[in-house]
Amino acid sequence: MRKNESRVIVALDYSGQKQALEFVAKISPEQCKLKIGKELFTRAGPQLVEKLVSQGFDVFLDLKFHDIPNTVKKAVYAAAQLEVWMVNVHAMGGQSMLNAAREGVDMAGNRHPLLIAVSVLTSLKSSDLVQLGISDDLPDFVKRLAGMAINEGLDGLVCSAQEASLLRETFGKAPLLVTPGIRPDWAATDDQHRIMTPKQALQNGSSYLVIGRPITQHENPAEALEMINQSL
């Protein structure tokens, strides 16, 4: 279903449909892909997804499904019917849930979306794992969850750019690695701490780069996108 070769996924982290559509009107589907997360989807619903897909955009539906296997299977299939480009689930849902998610994607036939897994949220630290009763250190736990997702046939993983090289060394070139926390060297770091430039992230093994405010809050979003694409 891929419509363009851009590695950039713009995070539409807006509180409503009006703001999102005002931004989208300033860019083109050839420049990037779009990510819709929980807040925007909860407010605007499937109708916004359908609208963006009809305009030619590849849409990453970032809802991180995590539930019993049958529920996740049906949710992923519903996402596939929206003709999204990519959808994700939580790897911590376990092997049966991941397998069910893969089945839900496959039910959509040849036009199914890419299916990727979130291993460990970037907000979690090693001390948080201890509180959850997990004895692995953070990198080992990420690798364990990533291996389970790949073994269940998922297409790739969401990870930090810092984890990308570790996952490449472990799992090779095949998995797609989608990385947030990307900041061009000309952009403010805002509240992000573990960041990389787009070029550094690709060199580290990332496949796709999730970028929000450096583009969405730029006075000329199309120009910002062009600068980033050219740097890659």
Q: Which long-range contacts (CB under 8 A, 24 or more apart) does 19-26 make?
A: 20/44, 20/48, 21/48, 21/51, 23/216, 23/221, 24/52, 24/55, 24/57, 26/220, 26/221, 26/222
Give the distance from CA 231 to its chain's centroid.
Answer: 21
3-state secondary structure 53-80: HHCCCCEEEEEEECCCHHHHHHHHHHHH
Residue of 51, 64, 74, 199 with catalytic role: 64
Active-site annotation holds for 64: yes
H-run or E-run covering 90: strand 86-90
Residues 174-190, buried b or exposed e (16+ Cβ, 10 A)?
A: ebbbbbbbbbbeebeee
Give the β-pairing of 176-179 and 8-11. Answer: unpaired
Helical spans, DSSP H, in 30-180:
38-54, 69-81, 95-106, 126-131, 138-151, 161-171
CA distance 4 to 132: 41
- Residues marked as catalytic: 64
